Structure 1
Amino acid sequence: MLTSLRRQINFKDLFPTPWSFVIFISYMGLFINQGLLVTGSKTSSHSYNYNTIVVVLLTEVVKFVTALVIYRQTHSFNQMRRDITENQTGKFAFQKRVFIYYKRNKRKLLFLYFIPSALYCLYNNLAFINLSSYDPTTYFLLLQFRVVVTGVIFQILFNKRLTRIQWLSLLLLTSGCIIKQFEHSSSLPVSKVSLTNSTLSHTPEPTVQKSSLINIHLIWILVQVFCSCFAGVYNEYLLKSDRTTQVDVMLQNSFMYFDSILCNLMLLMFFDQQQPYLSITEKFSNTLRLITSGKENLIFFIILNNAAVGIVTSLFLKSMTSILKTFASALELLFTSILAWILFSIPVSIYTFLAIFIVSFAVYLYSINPVVNQPKTTTTNNEINLVLNKSNITLSTEDMHSKLGYEQGKRVVV
């Protein structure tokens, strides 16, 4: 362990590409903005003047449109339609043999992404619920319980065993975040939350201390932790697995955002208690009216910020790991505390200072021995190479599609 500690930080493993560090910083900044913006949109009674499910749904629509626009920058409309419908034809037996695996799995992606989409739908709505009950610093603090959960799920899905240093860094990070819970002197006003609280129907309740061990707000935090851990690692599994590496990441995002739109629509139709007597059209029109009238300017920025969070998160998971994502989330806690001190004059206590020190040391431990999980060499490419070698064909995989379509039967012999 001491030998490992003496090694220099391997930034190449931490940030595989030059853009990785930019994505890392953007990821942290956007999530910090999320907590501050949502908190700023609360009323004095710790509720919201707008329908939060509609805001989450509009965010998913913006994500979906953005992903399609980015995808269209490098793909034609016909190629996009072919990628979605997979209406490819071909008479060559070996062409059918090569692409059958690729075609079948892409068709399944729309359904596979329903799992992370449903979890992210719940996570995004719970974010509004929990931020209505906690200040941003406490909210990000409690979310750090996902550190150990993420490590366990990471091992199960990717069949990778974390080293002692990696486990030590995870445990130190968790300990550093929990230390702030010893600060029991202040009280937090909360509100009574019903079981259908994805709609944020609040009733004022007397203040309770943050030291309460079991309450409905802690339960919602734990549910959000589970959604974050499982959805994040499962999404990384889809992005990096053999069945998806031939599919453009933005097309995969489009699948997930489309599924998430459906999930939020179902949530809005059947579980909305904030505006239960209004139709879906009225709920949308009311929210849009608040945005355009300028009464709730923060709604617009919340939608844009959360949409950017979704895009950046997918890029983050494509090039880095959920473990590094978790550490980025831990650093959010530190910077949120500093910003809360600057903007809202909330003092940085000895507990916060100690947590900053422990978490920073945990980040250093992880940085010298990071979990590296680059995308695998695809089965599709292996099959293509095998077929081409047997057939003595020197066509590259990049132009094989076009040559197979227009030069049927033509071969270049080595």
Structure 2
Amino acid sequence: MFKDKDSIVVFVLYIVLSVSQGLLVTATKSAKGGYSFNFTTVVLIMEFCKLLVSIIAFLMHNSILSLQREIFKNIKFALLYVFPAALYCLYNNLQFVNLANFDPTTYHILLQSRIVVTGFIYQIFFAVNLNIKQWISLIILTLGCIIKQIDLLNIQQLSTSTSNISYAILLVLAQVTCSSIASVYIELLIKSKNNQVNIWLQNIFMYTASIFCNLIVLCFSGSLSDIISLDSITSIFQIPVLLIIANWVGLGLITSLFLKNLNSILKTFASGLDLVFIAILSSVFFSIPITGFTVLSILVISLAFWMYSKDPITRKETAVVGEKLNSVKNGVIEDS
């Protein structure tokens, strides 16, 4: 699964930061399950921090003039990042709608369909047909994640608060599809054939587009004044919240390296392994019991990962990448 040691380091770091994020968010919850800070403000500040870190990382080996030159040179390529940024923005907004329609456990169970959806999207974008073993491992991974979510609540309590269950499920599917397309599309941009655009420059494009999309949504929703209020801003100056922001920034940056060195399919398995480690560490730090459901989930997810490791996707370049993106006139991506 790993072409070199760097890939292994990126894989491990992604899991460590993902697990840390889950533990940090859990630690900041109040007894009633709420937060003492404005989560939307934290997300927006996080995007600005990721943009700043990406700029600093680029300038460590390049001049400011070089940054300006590269931005203008690849402006058409930069515009391609508006699409995944808009999808992630839509994903975040659909999250609130879907959590209003479903109880948290039902919602997270339905959300696990993104594993299989990512498989289909990956095939379409990269023209790579997953074989039977790979599909079986993805389905087993999905079941393992669902088992872990069921563990959070008695199965008889799973419910929806809307009478139109079909419409509610379609909204969850739309949310899942947005996330899957955005992730695979970003991988497509990063790995595009003959693409010589610096990874940090691509991060700058992505986070700029993300900030732009989020600000537009907040302006139209009339929520911008709420997140930039004095109370919202001062609420983030707590050590746990600052740790969340720092960890989240690191996770966002390592994700781009993950997609560059590995792929979106392996990323779904890494997310499944997150559940395993979070369950174990939550038992240690928060005295959350490890139940039979948790043990079964760990075994099933481990089986899925083992199956995939026996027959992983190893294709490094695809014939359709340049073909899909060469419509960008004068862009940096061309099909040789």
TM-score over 0.5 for the pair: yes
Q: What do you get for the CA RMSD once the two structures are aligned? A: 3.1
2: CA distance, partners of 1:20 / 1:145: 26
Distance apart, 1:108 and its partner CA: 1.6
Identity across the alignment (%): 43
Amino acid at match of 2:84: P
Instruction: Please name the residue that 2:180 is paired with.
Output: 229
Instruction: Please name the residue that 1:263 is paired with.
Output: 213
Structure 1's 20 and 153: CA in aligned 2 closer, same or farther, altered over 3 A?
same
2: CA distance, partners of 1:220 / 1:358: 28
Structure 1 residue aligned with 2:85, among 104, 108, 117? 117
Structure 1's 210 and 300: CA in aligned 2 closer, same or farther, altered over 3 A?
farther
Deviations 1:91-123 (A, max 9, x none): xxxxxxxxxxxxxxx322222101111222344
Structure 1's 303 and 126: CA in aligned 2 closer, same or farther, altered over 3 A?
farther
Matched, 1:29 2:16: yes
Structure 1's 123 and 185: CA in aligned 2 closer, same or farther, altered over 3 A?
closer
SS in 1 for 2:235: helix
Q: Is the Cα–Cα contact under 8 Å of residues 41 and 233 in structure 2 kept in the other structure? A: no
Structure 2 residue aligned with 1:352, among 289, 294, 300? 294
2: CA distance, partners of 1:186 / 1:134: 12
Instruction: List aligned pairs for 1:120-199, cutoff 5 A.
Output: 120-123=88-91, 134=104, 143-180=111-148, 183=151, 186=154
Instruction: Please name the residue that 2:329 is paired with.
Output: none
- Structure-1-length-normalised TM-score: 0.68
SS in 2 for 1:279: helix
Amino acid at match of 2:27: G
Q: Is the Cα–Cα contact under 8 Å of residues 110 and 255 in structure 1 kept in the other structure? A: yes
2: CA distance, partners of 1:299 / 1:125: 22
Instruction: List aligned pairs for 1:292-331, cutoff 5 A.
Output: 292=237, 294=238, 297-331=239-273
Matched, 1:279 2:228: no
Q: Is the Cα–Cα contact under 8 Å of residues 184 and 264 in structure 2 kept in the other structure? A: yes
Distance apart, 1:16 and its partner CA: 1.6
Deviations 1:37-76 (A, max 9, x none): 2233333443333322221111010111111111112222
Structure 2 residue aligned with 1:211, among 158, 176, 201? 158
Deviations 1:13-37 (A, max 9, x none): x122212111111111212222222
Distance apart, 1:320 and its partner CA: 0.4
2: CA distance, partners of 1:250 / 1:352: 38
Q: Is the Cα–Cα contact under 8 Å of residues 67 and 251 in structure 1 kept in the other structure? A: yes
SS in 1 for 2:197: coil
Matched, 1:15 2:9: no
Amino acid at match of 2:244: I
Distance apart, 1:356 and its partner CA: 1.3
SS in 1 for 2:183: helix
Instruction: Please name the residue that 1:288 is paired with.
Output: 233
Distance apart, 1:339 and its partner CA: 1.8
2: CA distance, partners of 1:371 / 1:231: 20
1: CA distance, partners of 2:46 / 2:92: 10
Instruction: Please name the residue that 2:189 is paired with.
Output: 238
1: CA distance, partners of 2:60 / 2:99: 37
Amino acid at match of 1:231: A
2: CA distance, partners of 1:229 / 1:284: 33
Structure 1's 310 and 261: CA in aligned 2 closer, same or farther, altered over 3 A?
same
Q: Is the Cα–Cα contact under 8 Å of residues 187 and 264 in structure 2 kept in the other structure? A: yes
Structure 1 residue aligned with 2:65, among 51, 75, 78? 78
Distance apart, 1:213 and its partner CA: 5.7
- Structure-2-length-normalised TM-score: 0.82
Amino acid at match of 2:85: S
2: CA distance, partners of 1:214 / 1:291: 32
Distance apart, 1:363 and its partner CA: 0.6
Number of equivalences: 315
2: CA distance, partners of 1:39 / 1:225: 23
- The structure in which a higher percent of residues are helix is 2
Q: Is the Cα–Cα contact under 8 Å of residues 47 and 207 in structure 2 kept in the other structure? A: yes
Deviations 1:186-236 (A, max 9, x none): 49xxxxxxxxxxxxxxxxxxxxx6522676997776554333211110110
